[in-house]
Amino acid sequence: MTTTHTALLGDRTVRRVGFGAMQLAGPNAWGPPRDPDAARAVLRRALDLGVNHVDTAQIYGPDVVNDLIAEALRPYPDELVIATKVGGRRDDGGGWIGAARPERLRADVEANLRGLRVERLGLVNLRLMPDGERVPLAEQLGALTALRDEGKLALIGLSTVSADDVRAALEITPIAAVQNAFSVVNRADQPVLDLCRAQGIAYVPYFPLGSAYVGGPQVLAADPAIASVAAKHGVSAAQVALAWLLARYDRMLLIPGTSSIAHLEDNLAAGHVALDDQDLATLDGAKQLGNPMG
Ligand SMILES: NC(=O)c1ccc[n+]([C@@H]2O[C@H](COP(=O)([O-])OP(=O)(O)OC[C@H]3O[C@@H](n4cnc5c(N)ncnc54)[C@H](OP(=O)(O)O)[C@@H]3O)[C@@H](O)[C@H]2O)c1
């Protein structure tokens, strides 16, 4: 099975293996990293290797990750799409809380513009928080479409949404991407992926490597199905997990998260791992770990 290396994100063409920047902050995306120079070096290496889709959020840190991106990558190349998300905030202990009122979404878009030091954001995902304030979806999207009309963002996406949410959103505005939890060890979101395929919406799985919360690629490497496919191809378990995602949909865009240049390079090479039908059948036996966020 051959893998194409680029796909559309809205009207932008991006490399299918991008970079998720959440791991560049301190543990649990809270506070600064131990070594900010190393974090900036990972970002620069990602772009050197052709990454042109970076996922971030003002609430990573807060502000820490957006600042690192601005410091490391400005002046931004024209082809770079930086995706961010609004809809949540952090409490004093780093907990994640919903913050969905339209004025709050507007303030958070402005905070991302300031942190990233841009005049327009490439993609803003509306992140629905299950325990958040009950604000109708139409009101939340209304805030984002107004900001798009003002030129403050180019594309609107959705994150942590159901298929019904996607259908309801499409009645209101075009949706460029859906960012939900999904991986070889967490396939519960398959119906949303199917809907994205039917609608031609890019699908951007978070926790593509199972996430640090469940042990990440170390846990993947211990799974017999994943380990056997990795051994057959002479590649890492992380690369198998990413290649499995790429094989499922031609507009699947990856944002694996890492704070390590070696892991970044490993992840970017996953686009060259060609899984065959037998590999995919073997990977159907991978133990399901569920969604780390419940
Ligand atoms: N929309 C949302 O609500 C939401 C939620 C969560 C995440 N996200 C986004 O999705 C991105 C990806 O999710 P994630 O970072 O939480 O989880 P992930 O990509 O599934 O896994 C990250 C973990 O894997 C490790 N890792 C990465 N590449 C590796 C490799 N090649 N070999 C061994 N270990 C490797 C990382 O540690 P090292 O740093 O040591 O490499 C880290 O512990 C985030 O960065 C963020 O941008 C969005």
Mean pLDDT of 143-155: 98
Structural domain of residue 93, as residue ranges? 6-214+251-258
Percentage of the chain surpassing pLDDT 70?
99
Q: Is residue 273 part of a domain?
A: no
Residue 151 DSSP symbol: T
Given a cut of 80, is residue 291 above it in pLDDT?
yes
Q: What does the radius of gyration of the chain's CA atoms come to, in whole angstroms?
A: 18
Residues 6+ apart with CB under 8 A from 90: 30, 59, 62, 96, 97
Q: Is residue 264 part of a domain?
A: no
Q: Is residue 208 part of a domain?
A: yes
If one compares 141 and 4, the residue with the highest pLDDT of the two is: 141
How much is the pLDDT for 131? 75
Give the pLDDT band of residue 292 (cuts 50, 70, 90).
Answer: confident
With beta carbons less than 8 A apart as the criterion, state whether 119 and 141 touch: no
| pLDDT tens digits for range 154-168 | 999 999 999 999 999
What is the rounded distance in angstroms from the CA atom of residue 134 to the CA atom of residue 140?
Answer: 10
What is the rounded distance in angstroms from the CA atom of residue 186 to the CA atom of residue 197?
Answer: 18
* Total domains present in the chain: 1
Range from 118-132, 146-160, 252-266, 273-287 carrying the lowest mean pLDDT: 118-132
Mean pLDDT of 69-91: 98
Give the pLDDT band of residue 130 (cuts 50, 70, 90).
Answer: confident
Q: Is residue 27 part of a domain?
A: yes
Q: How far is the CA of 23 from the centre of ligand 1 (A)?
A: 6
- What is the token pair recorded at 199? 């609608």
State which of 45, 126, 206 you would mutate to test the pocket of ligand 1, scoring each by most atoms of that ligand within 8 A of its C-beta: 206
Active site residue 213: no
How much is the pLDDT for 294? 65
With beta carbons less than 8 A apart as the criterion, state whether 170 and 203 touch: no
Give the helix ranges, DSSP H, for 150-189: 163-170
Q: Is residue 159 part of a domain?
A: yes
Q: Is residue 49 part of a domain?
A: yes
With beta carbons less than 8 A apart as the criterion, state whether 120 and 53 touch: no
Q: Is residue 84 part of a domain?
A: yes
Q: Give the H or E element holding residue 55.
A: strand 53-55
With beta carbons less than 8 A apart as the criterion, state whether 265 and 163 touch: no
What is the rounded distance in angstroms from the CA atom of residue 148 to the CA atom of residue 142?
Answer: 10
Which residue in 60, 203, 206, 249 is the catalytic one? 60
Give the pLDDT band of residue 2 (cuts 50, 70, 90).
Answer: low
Give the pLDDT band of residue 1 (cuts 50, 70, 90).
Answer: low
Protein residue with least CA distance to atom 43, ligand 1:
212
- The CATH number that applies at residue 142 is 3.20.20.100
Q: Is residue 94 part of a domain?
A: yes
Mean pLDDT of 140-148: 98
User: Which atom of ligand 1 lies closest to the CA of 209?
Assistant: 20
| pLDDT tens digits for range 172-224 | 999 999 999 999 999 999 999 999 999 999 999 999 999 988 888 999 999 99
Q: How far is the CA of 269 from the centre of ligand 1 (A)?
A: 16
Residues in contact with ligand 1 by the CB-under-6-Å rule are 20-23, 55, 85, 127, 159-160, 179, 206-212, 216-217, 236, 238, 255-260, 263, 266-267
If one compares 114 and 4, the residue with the highest pLDDT of the two is: 114
Given a cut of 90, is residue 265 above it in pLDDT?
yes
What average pLDDT does the structure give for the chain? 96
Protein residue with least CA distance to atom 7, ligand 1:
206
User: Which atom of ligand 1 lies closest to the CA of 259?
Assistant: 39
With beta carbons less than 8 A apart as the criterion, state whether 210 and 185 touch: yes
Given a cut of 90, is residue 290 above it in pLDDT?
no
Q: Where are the beta strands (DSSP E) in 95-219?
A: 96-98, 121-127, 153-159, 177-179, 202-203
